[in-house]
Amino acid sequence: MTATPETNAHVTVFATEWCPFCARLRKNLDRTETPYDLVDVEAEGNEDAAAWVESVNDGNRVVPTVLYSDGTHETNPGASAVRRKHEELAGA
């Protein structure tokens, strides 16, 4: 299995520029000022991140895939689920 990317954020969104599901998730998180780090899996230098996304999605590069600071992840989650998880991780 591919190593989990290191991040200092409670929420890291792995996405692409062209993905409408990624855009919707980001828009909804931004609307509620939910903090997250963003990793473009197609950007140069992000090959390890792309490999991780594939490793947790049965070999497919499914985006958005969200990594949480507790090591769990979700594929194509709703913004409300990401907000709840962020609140849990942030201790709010």
The overall pTM is greater than 0.85: yes
Q: What single-letter DSSP state applies at residue 33?
A: T
Which CATH homologous superfamily contains domain 11-91? Answer: Glutaredoxin (3.40.30.10)
Work out the burial of residue 60: count CB atoms within 10 Å of its CB; fewer than 13 is exposed, 13-18 middle, 19 or more buried: exposed
* Predicted confidence band of residue 32 (pLDDT cuts 50, 70, 90): very high
Instruction: Give the pLDDT confidence score for residue 8 in this predicted structure.
Output: 86
Instruction: Give the pLDDT confidence score for residue 3 in this predicted structure.
Output: 87
Instruction: Give the pLDDT confidence score for residue 59 in this predicted structure.
Output: 95
Residue whose pair of structure tokens reads 């409300």 in the numeric block: 80
Pairing of strands 11-15, 37-40: parallel
Q: Which two tokens stand for residue 40?
A: 């473009």
Contacts of residue 51, Cβ cutoff 8 Å, sequence gap at least 6:
2
